[in-house]
Structure 1
Amino acid sequence: MDRDENLAPDVRLDHGSRTGEPIIDCRDVAVRFKVEDGEVEAVRGVSMQLYRGETIAVVGESGSGKSVTARTIMGLLSKRARVAPGASIRLDGDDILKWSPHRRRMLRGNRLSMIFQEPLSSLNPVYSIGAQIIEAIRIHQKLSKAKAREKAIDLLREVRIPEPEARINQYPHQLSGGQRQRVMIAMALANNPDVLIADEPTTALDVTVQAQILQLIRDLQQRHGMAVILITHDLTVVRKFSDYVYVMQKGEVKEHNTTEALFGNPRHPYTRHLLGSEPRGHANPLPAESPVIMEGKDVRVAFMLKKGGFFSAEFHELVAVDNLSLTLRRHETLGIVGESGSGKTTFGQALIRLSDPDGGEIYFDGKAIHGKSREELRPLRSRMQVVFQDPFSSLNPRMSVCQIIEEGLIVNGIGTNRAERLDRVRDALTAAGLPTNILSRFPHEFSGGQRQRIAIARAIALEPEFILLDEPTSALDLSVQAQIIDLLRKLQDERGLSYLFISHDLKVVRALCHRVIVMQHGRIVEEGPVEEVLFNPKTAYTEKLVKAAFEVAA
């Protein structure tokens, strides 16, 4: 690359071959956030164009400004944000940055729609998913409640939600992460938008469903002439589904080109770094004679599902975890993989008693915990920690980073004074790969990947013996995934940690885990050492998962 060469001009490199005007044309978009000690420049001079019926991808590491750029287009920035006066975002030639707040509000969910990275924080926990989809439809379409409900069920069926007639009455917390993401996609597509912004749309989805959802978006795109802005860290998805790629780093576009040209001949060093990133390595050998730290015997969890209306209600039992057993040793990382809704997270949460199992026995460090009350479990909580799949919903939005991490230390009586606790907080942030000057900032001021690292820092600050990791790398870009894997390995070696690692990313599982359990419909269909299960699968289901993870990427 020539040092003086501009790899990111304001206008696309293929504009000469394009007919018609772009539906979205961003020029010199710059966004600053007010913070206690000044301002943070999140986006600097970003220009990009999107044409009807195509997909452009925006890629880059966590904190590169991808999501802030998308939220600027949607008009969803926080009150602390300031868009530079010289910026313009044209929709069919009309600068929407000059529109009134009311006019922009009517644009959202109608002509412009967005699928967010964290579905649980985007769905209202007090309303059923059906009520929320129906509301999205009726705001922009003159339909009766009955007709809107019919359309909502059709949308749920279209995004592959099983038993949509029953699921429509459920609440967000009753669905798996992947199912919640599909509900978000159904809501976004409810009014056939002109432009769909998909911010990590497959983050919470397993490998087999990722391709289905992206293919669904592509089919709808072709049917309605919809344009898509795809924000992702999954370069396999970018290569397969996008027409044009913008590469962002530290708030700036570093390079852009057609997908074929960018992957075939990346020019910028950062682009080459991104394309060369992938989880590598293997779990360090397990120490001989490692004692058992966690054991589950015949653990069962079931939920009651309701069908029909108030007077014709029918209930049936959904068994999410069907008499499962596992053993986890000290220093060991045990992976649990399977499709969305297979019961992975429910099983993990039952093992650490975040939810109450309907049957079975659970032992931690040789002591039975299946019959213990919340109060009796409290002394064990600092020894058992969890990093959730959706970091935004697990971090208190009203607390600063310092308060979030320090809270666990205070509750568990760790640290003799404030100064000692602050030292622990800073050590945890450093260990999680974060700077220590973010103590006064709040969760909404960080990217999804940065929030996930804050969640990891909160867990390790208590120096636990066991951590349940529920999709801890799902919100992270490829280059940061490798850092987190190295960090988890390092922490495991230094502190003798044991991990129960729930994931749909088999590449990460291969790099981090000693053994793996494969789940389907609440049952274990296969288990064994990682190398054996992933490279010599015994069941057709495991083989399908492995193919989706490794062969599609090849």
Structure 2
Amino acid sequence: MTDDLRHDTAPSTRRDHGAQQGEPIIDARNVAVDIAVEDGTVNAVRDVSFQLFRGETIAIVGESGSGKSVTARTVMGLLPKRASVGKGATINYNGEDVLKFSERRRRDMRGSRISMIFQEPMSSLNPIYTIGSQIIEAIQTHRRVSRKDAEAETLELLKQVQIPEPEARLKQYPHQLSGGQRQRVMIAMALANKPDVLIADEPTTALDVTVQAQILGLIRDLQLELGMAVILITHDLTVVQHFSDYVYVMSEGVVREHNATRALFADPQHPYTKKLLSSEPSGEANPLPEGSQTILEGRDVRVAFTLKTGTFFKSSYSQLVAVNDLSITLKKHETLGLVGESGSGKTTFGQALLRLIHTDGGTVLFDEKHIEGLSREQLRPLRSRMQVVFQDPFSSLNPRMTIGQIIEEGLIVNNIGSSGKDRNERVRDALVDAGLPGSITHRFPHEFSGGQRQRIAIARAVALEPEFILLDEPTSALDLSVQAQIIELLRKLQSERGLSYLFISHDLKVVRALCHRVCVMQHGKIVEQGPVRDVLENPQTDYTKRLVKAAFEVAA
């Protein structure tokens, strides 16, 4: 380690070490992780040390790519094959160095004594097994429990994490749940065996604001009951301030500063910490040009799903109306926010407007042309004009293709670009616009952090130069400072290219900064709508009031 780096890193021992009783349950020292890539080596983590005591929560914060998740995966023994841990590293769990454990012993430890909630639930849940069978497997893998008892425990876990209709969810598959509901399933699975240490990697990223406090409160209640310790990896500083006892701030694989939460927020010392604490979505949408024409309109749109319950021999069916006769209009240059709790129908409504899923009624017009009855081939010429950025970037990026191929594919399919060289330039420009270096085109999705993958997804959409973009939680995986960059980027693109956005989000702070109007959804219906400032500053319905309070006043 260079002298410059050594002077810019925090001490290896906690500031409050002398005030703690007993030894840390986890004591990590001098952790370094290098990852081999095609053109060299990435120093993902460099000389990181941290201590975690029983019953407390420490938070590891920092921007995407800072090494937060790599540090956590090192504790779990879940690093990729191309990663190597530095020889001087030690990670003591209950006094034993887990880096020296056999693979079998590490496997026994994972999910029982040390458990982890991953950032992207869709890539962590097996798509061919039901939710119930996956949680039951997590229980029976580590404990001798009958199938009947394990199923009863699973049902209770789903109730604890506020899954609606938990009995029905036991028989459903991951794709049948919303992003927030899948994240709650992951939390239930991680807590199934009441671990000593819970590593929560962005545990509330996909959750709406009202459930966020409930989930964090649930984790804290289990801490008190079990003496469980928590490592909270997050970019949400509001959550850190209310739910952590001690904070480690990481940047470029290094711990820059650490301190007790209250002390760090009251008096940050490092310039990077000061930058993080001052980052917050701000500003407002650019004024809408007078006389803007309507580009997208939905009239009485209805979407219903048939749910199957029961057994193979005795099945019963019920209908879930996810979108109940909704109507909206979106003008050119406008950003319309669509907010509500998980399962309210936001994403389903957005996908129905783009004809990505079947509608059971209503009409959809794009640029004054009816598209609800068009075939797949008839829709093809419109696809480059209508783009989408999905909530879970990992599941929407082909893992076998390089970043350059992923972005260029859309250009080729839609005949955009005069030559291969021209397309390559467009790809690089799109990456730079999304806040990424243009030199990453030869790398693969798994080589990037969650936030970086989300920016790649935005670059893919922007490269096609569309007129309308459906943004489904585009900033949910991004840290605060990058959120501000993305908001500014979206404003800039809207101003320069006349883009229109349908912005689906549970982050009302981002909605306030980016949207002109907002629609609030609950149970497949719009319960309130209007100019974003009017709705957020003077909500009329009890439901909207609850959303606003949860977003701007996270309760500990």
TM-score (structure 2 length as normaliser): 0.98
CA contact (8 A) 1:128 1:171 kept: yes
1:295 aligns with 297
| 1:167 aligned onto 2:169 | yes
Q: What code does the residue aligned with 1:143 have?
A: V
2:256 aligns with 254
Q: Distance in 1 between matches of 2:307 and 2:164?
A: 12
Q: Distance in 2 between matches of 1:131 and 1:353?
A: 33
Superposition deviation, residue 552 in structure 1: 3.1
CA contact (8 A) 1:408 1:462 kept: yes
| 1:317 aligned onto 2:319 | yes
Q: Look up the SS of the partner of 2:50 in the other structure.
A: strand
Q: What code does the residue aligned with 2:320 have?
A: L
2:273 aligns with 271
CA contact (8 A) 2:242 2:555 kept: no
2:383 aligns with 381
1:492 aligns with 494
Q: Look up the SS of the partner of 1:186 in the other structure.
A: helix
Q: Look up the SS of the partner of 1:491 in the other structure.
A: helix
How many residues align structurally?
553
TM-superposition CA deviations, 1:334-371 (whole Å, max 9, x none): 00000111000000011001111111111111111111
Q: How does 1:113-124 map to 2 (within 5 A)?
A: 113-124=115-126
Q: What code does the residue aligned with 1:72 have?
A: T
Superposition deviation, residue 310 in structure 1: 2.7
Superposition deviation, residue 311 in structure 1: 3.2
Q: Distance in 2 between matches of 1:502 and 1:337?
A: 6
CA contact (8 A) 2:242 2:554 kept: no
CA contact (8 A) 2:213 2:554 kept: no
Q: Distance in 1 between matches of 2:418 and 2:465?
A: 16
1:136 aligns with 138
Given the alignment, which residue of 362, 365, 368 partners 1:363?
365
1:155–1:162 CA distance, 2 compared to 1 (3 A)? same
Q: How does 1:112-511 map to 2 (within 5 A)?
A: 112-511=114-513
Aligned residues: percent identity?
Answer: 73
1:25 aligns with 27
CA contact (8 A) 1:383 1:464 kept: yes
CA contact (8 A) 1:384 1:465 kept: yes
| 1:11 aligned onto 2:13 | yes
Q: Look up the SS of the partner of 1:212 in the other structure.
A: helix
Gaps of 5+ in 2: none
Q: Distance in 2 between matches of 1:349 and 1:5?
A: 51
| 1:70 aligned onto 2:75 | no
Superposition deviation, residue 7 in structure 1: 6.3
Q: Distance in 1 between matches of 2:376 and 2:112?
A: 46
2:45 aligns with 43
TM-superposition CA deviations, 1:507-526 (whole Å, max 9, x none): 10000000000000100000
Gaps of 5+ in 1: none
Superposition deviation, residue 399 in structure 1: 1.0
2:541 aligns with 539
CA contact (8 A) 1:334 1:514 kept: yes
Superposition deviation, residue 305 in structure 1: 1.7
CA contact (8 A) 2:249 2:257 kept: yes
Q: Distance in 2 between matches of 1:168 and 1:538?
A: 36
Q: What code does the residue aligned with 2:513 have?
A: A
Q: Look up the SS of the partner of 2:377 in the other structure.
A: helix
CA contact (8 A) 1:7 1:256 kept: no
Q: Distance in 1 between matches of 2:300 and 2:444?
A: 42
Q: Look up the SS of the partner of 1:305 in the other structure.
A: strand
Superposition deviation, residue 413 in structure 1: 1.4
Q: Look up the SS of the partner of 1:213 in the other structure.
A: helix
Q: Distance in 1 between matches of 2:555 and 2:514?
A: 19
Superposition deviation, residue 434 in structure 1: 0.4
CA contact (8 A) 1:165 1:307 kept: no
Q: Distance in 2 between matches of 1:225 and 1:305?
A: 40
CA contact (8 A) 1:299 1:359 kept: yes
Q: Distance in 1 between matches of 2:127 and 2:381?
A: 30
CA contact (8 A) 2:111 2:190 kept: yes
CA contact (8 A) 2:60 2:68 kept: yes
Superposition deviation, residue 398 in structure 1: 1.1
Superposition deviation, residue 151 in structure 1: 1.1
CA contact (8 A) 1:7 1:268 kept: no
In terms of mean alpha carbon deviation, does 372-381 or 205-214 score higher? 372-381
Superposition deviation, residue 6 in structure 1: 6.8
1:43–1:423 CA distance, 2 compared to 1 (3 A)? same
Q: Distance in 2 between matches of 1:542 and 1:180?
A: 24
1:399–1:8 CA distance, 2 compared to 1 (3 A)? same
Q: Distance in 2 between matches of 1:486 and 1:90?
A: 43
TM-score (structure 1 length as normaliser): 0.98
Q: Look up the SS of the partner of 2:12 in the other structure.
A: coil
CA contact (8 A) 2:469 2:502 kept: yes
Q: What code does the residue aligned with 2:316 have?
A: E
1:422–1:540 CA distance, 2 compared to 1 (3 A)? same
CA contact (8 A) 1:401 1:438 kept: yes
Q: What code does the residue aligned with 1:242 have?
A: S
Superposition deviation, residue 451 in structure 1: 0.5
CA contact (8 A) 2:404 2:441 kept: yes
CA contact (8 A) 1:297 1:361 kept: yes
Q: Look up the SS of the partner of 1:463 in the other structure.
A: coil
CA contact (8 A) 1:296 1:327 kept: yes
Q: Distance in 1 between matches of 2:148 and 2:383?
A: 47
Q: What code does the residue aligned with 1:130 have?
A: G
CA contact (8 A) 1:281 1:511 kept: yes
Superposition deviation, residue 4 in structure 1: 9.3
CA contact (8 A) 1:120 1:390 kept: yes
Superposition deviation, residue 20 in structure 1: 1.1
Superposition deviation, residue 5 in structure 1: 6.9
Q: What code does the residue aligned with 2:494 have?
A: Q
Superposition misfits of 4+ residues, deviation over 4 angstroms: 3-7
Q: Look up the SS of the partner of 1:157 in the other structure.
A: helix
Q: How does 1:89-100 map to 2 (within 5 A)?
A: 89-100=91-102
CA contact (8 A) 2:90 2:97 kept: yes
Aligned-CA RMSD value = 1.4
In terms of mean alpha carbon deviation, does 491-500 or 366-375 score higher? 366-375
